[in-house]
Chain A
Amino acid sequence: SQKIEQNSEALNIQEGKTATLTCNYTNYSPAYLQWYRQDPGRGPVFLLLIRENEKEKRKERLKVTFDTTLKQSLFHITASQPADSATYLCALEGSTLTFGKGTMLLVSP
């Protein structure tokens, strides 16, 4: 069956460092993959979409890679700030979007 895996352990990093989050999937061949941010008590907010024929996508301090051979996407936040602390979700395309459980990022000053 289709499966999306994100690290369930929170990622703790120091302000100014680069945060890297991983999304692995099995039994999928998505045409695109999306990343969302979710703050406590709020709905997810769309960040980036990357298509299967794109290796990398950037938006300000965010960078996403998509390796369809490894079935993996990496999400990077450079020069991280405490305000980046949130849970980050990856979502894969199908008839509708299927979400991973998310990884919590904690950026300490």
Chain B
Amino acid sequence: NAGVMQNPRHLVRRRGQEARLRCSPMKGHSHVYWYRQLPEEGLKFMVYLQKENIIDESGMPKERFSAEFPKEGPSILRIQQVVRGDSAAYFCASSPVNQLDNGYTFGSGTRLTVV
């Protein structure tokens, strides 16, 4: 039973390009969360999704960032026209419906570097 799978592990983009980060939740988990972590900073919440629904996107920048969790396939975090400040580690987590006793299960992250 694989955990949360994120790919790619490392992604290098030039300024102005698009970055697409993928997350496959743990089997049986229907809730997906994206977090961003900058060096020396904590994990910052970005967006919370269920299948085909964005539940909470209060942490997501209004421009250039979007997220989806389609009926089939992984959740995608898309960053358009990347800038140097987007360089960070992006973590995806998943959880089952209304079950908190085991916390969130995190993936190993995607490290985005914008050059």
Contacts and interface: CB of A to CB of B under 8 A. Distances in A.
A91 B45 CA distance: 11
Measured as residues with beta carbon below 8 angstroms from the partner, the interface class of chain B is 20 to 34
B48 interface: yes
Contacts of A101: 40-42
A32 B100 contact: yes
B107 interface: yes
B104 A42 contact: no
Contact of B93 (A43, A49, A89, A100): A43
B106 A44 contact: yes
18 contacts: A41-B109, A42-B108, A43-B4, A43-B93, A43-B106, A43-B109, A44-B43, A44-B106, A45-B106, A46-B103, A49-B100, A93-B100, A95-B48, A96-B33, A96-B56, A98-B45, A99-B45, A101-B41
Interface of A: 32, 34, 36, 41-47, 49, 89, 91, 93, 95-102
The 5 closest A-B pairs by CB, nearest first: A46-B103, A43-B106, A101-B42, A99-B43, A99-B42
